[in-house]
Structure formats: C-alpha cells, structure tokens
Amino acid sequence: MNATVAVTTFLAAGIEVIEMVAIVVAVGSTRSWRAALVGAAGGLVVLAALITVLGTALRDVPLQPIRLVVGALLLVFGLQWLRKGVLRIAAQGWAIGQGEEHVDESDVPPDGFDWTGFVLSFKGVTLEGLEIAIIVVAVGGASGAIGSAIIGAAAAVIVLAAVGAATYRLIARIPRRALQLFVGSLLSAFGTFWAALGVGVRWPGGDLALLYLVALYACTGVVLLHFVRRWQAPPGRHDRTATSEEVR
C-alpha cells in the first residue's frame, strides 16, 4: 500500500467525481431520478468493460473528440433548460415549493422513461469515469502502485457519491423553476468547458473554470429575466406606471 499514491489519486479523481455527481444530481433533480441513476449505472458498466479490455492502453485513448461530442450535447440541452427556466420564472415568478409548480407536458416522457436524462447522465459518467481511469493508470503506473491508485480512486467515488446521496433531498426542495435555471447554467457550463477542451482550448485555472462559467450563465439568466418580463408585460403597463409616478 502506497499511501502517497492513494492520497494523490483520491484528490485528483475527486475533482472528476464531483463533476460526475453534479451532473447526475442535476439531471435527477430536474428530469428523472430513475433515468439519471440508470444512465449512471450504464456509464459505470461501459467504463468497467473498457478498463477490462484496454487496461493500461487507456493512456492512449483520445479524449478530445469525446469531450467535444459530450460537451456539445450538454451545451445544447443546458441552454434549452436555461431558456425554459428564464421563461417560466418571468411568466409566473419564483414558486414557494416544488410541489406547487406546474410541469409542462414537454417535460413528461411519453413512454414513461426519460431517455434525454438517461443519455446526459450516461455520457457525463462515462467521460468523467474515463478520465478517472486514466488518472489511475498514469499515477499508479508511474509509481508502480496500480493497486494503491485504484484504492484512492474508489474511495473518492464512494465518499463523494455518498455526499451526493445525502444532499439530493436538500436540492429537491429548491423550487423547480429556480432549479431548472441553475441546472441549465450548470450543464451549459460543463458543455462549454468540455467542448472547448475538445478543440484544444486551455482554460485559465483548469477545472476551476467551471465555477466562473456557471456564475456567468446563471447571472446571464437572471439578467435576461428582467428583459423577458418587460417583453411579456401588458401593453399599457408602463404607461400606467408612469402616470402613477407623476401623480406622486
């Protein structure tokens, strides 16, 4: 047991696991927990098969085209959810509780299973899991301690997955419209980050770039609320407001 390798792998893999858990929880909270969990399980199965077949050859797997495809997919769906969140909040305001909110028919899967949520969760887990596997092979192989690297990565997955399982109920209490706006920002940020990596962009701060990308999309959504509310306002609303101000 090489403690240094285990801790290094735990910390390095932990960043990827946080991103993985964030995607699964986001998709489950706004779409379908069943689809998100099935997609995550499917991604782990595919990942296990790839590790079994390729082994140390994983270091030669080209990540850029995978990041580009997955990033583009997440960006498309993220922007759609961000748009829906902005329009719903602008039209009906921030709801008090998730249970009091109306869900559009377009959000309800016609066949009872949310394939969109499945695909997003599956691709997110597969990509992040592949990066974790490459970290294990790189760190463990360089130090001659693959076993310790596997233990460190497995510990990161277990610990952070448990944190996600413990906090998802708190996330579920967030009003659906607000959650949709935030999740749209989150997925758009992941999509932008990965797609840019896929074409060779190097983000300042590495994975920390996700934080300011999420903040950028979220702030943009909040700013758009102001303009959308003005566009949706009744024709004579601004005139009446001006008249009341003149009376005062």
Q: What is the reported pLDDT for 142?
A: 67
Q: What percent of the residues of the chain are helix, what percent strand, and what percent coil, each to the nearest 5?
A: 85, 0, 15
pLDDT for res 216: 93
The mean-pLDDT minimum among 64-78, 86-100, 165-179 falls in 86-100
| Per-residue confidence (pLDDT) for residue 213, from 0 to 100 | 92
d(CA 243, CA 204): 50
Does a structural domain hold residue 12? Answer: yes
The per-residue b/e assignment along 100-116, b for 16 or more CB within 10 angstroms, e otherwise, is ebeeeeebebeeeebeb
Global pTM value: 0.70
**Given this model, what pLDDT does residue 244 score?**
39
Span 11-34, pLDDT tens digits:
888 888 888 888 888 888 777 888
Sign of the alpha-carbon dihedral angle for 45, 26, 74, 204:
negative
Tens of pLDDT, residue by residue over 213-222, are 999 998 998 8
What residue numbers bound the domain in which 106 lies? 3-234
Give a yes or no: residue 43 inside a domain.
yes
**CA-wise closest residue to 58 among 144, 136, 148:** 136
Question: pLDDT tens-digit profile of 143-191?
Answer: 677 888 888 888 988 888 888 888 777 776 777 777 778 888 888 998 8
What integer pLDDT is reported at residue 76 of this predicted model? 86
Higher pLDDT, 2 or 240: 2
Q: pLDDT at position 98, please? A: 45
For all residues of the chain together, what is the average pLDDT?
78
Tokens matching residue 199? 């074409």
Cα dihedral: 140, 136, 189, 161 (round 10): -120
Would you say 125 and 6 are in contact if contact means Cβ atoms under 8 Å apart?
A: no
- What integer pLDDT is reported at residue 104 of this predicted model? 46
* 24 in any annotated domain: yes
Percent of the chain predicted with pLDDT > 70 = 83
Number of domains forming the structure of the chain: 1
d(CA 189, CA 185): 6
C-alpha 145/C-alpha 237 separation (Å) is: 70
Cα 149 to chain centroid distance, Å, stands at 26
Total residue length of the chain = 248
CA distances from 130 to 58, 69, 124 (A): 8, 14, 10
Q: Is residue 171 part of a domain?
A: yes
Place of tokens 């999420």: 214
Residue 71 has a pLDDT of: 85
Cα Rg of the chain (Å, integer): 21
Mean pLDDT across the stretch 72-87?
84
Q: DSSP assignment of 36-100, as one string?
A: HHHHHHHHHHHHHHHHHHHGGGGGG--HHHHHHHHHHHHHHHHHHHHHHHHHHHHHH---S-GGG
100-145: pLDDT as tens digits = 444 444 555 555 788 888 988 998 888 888 888 888 887 877 667 7
Domain membership of residue 15 (yes or no) is yes
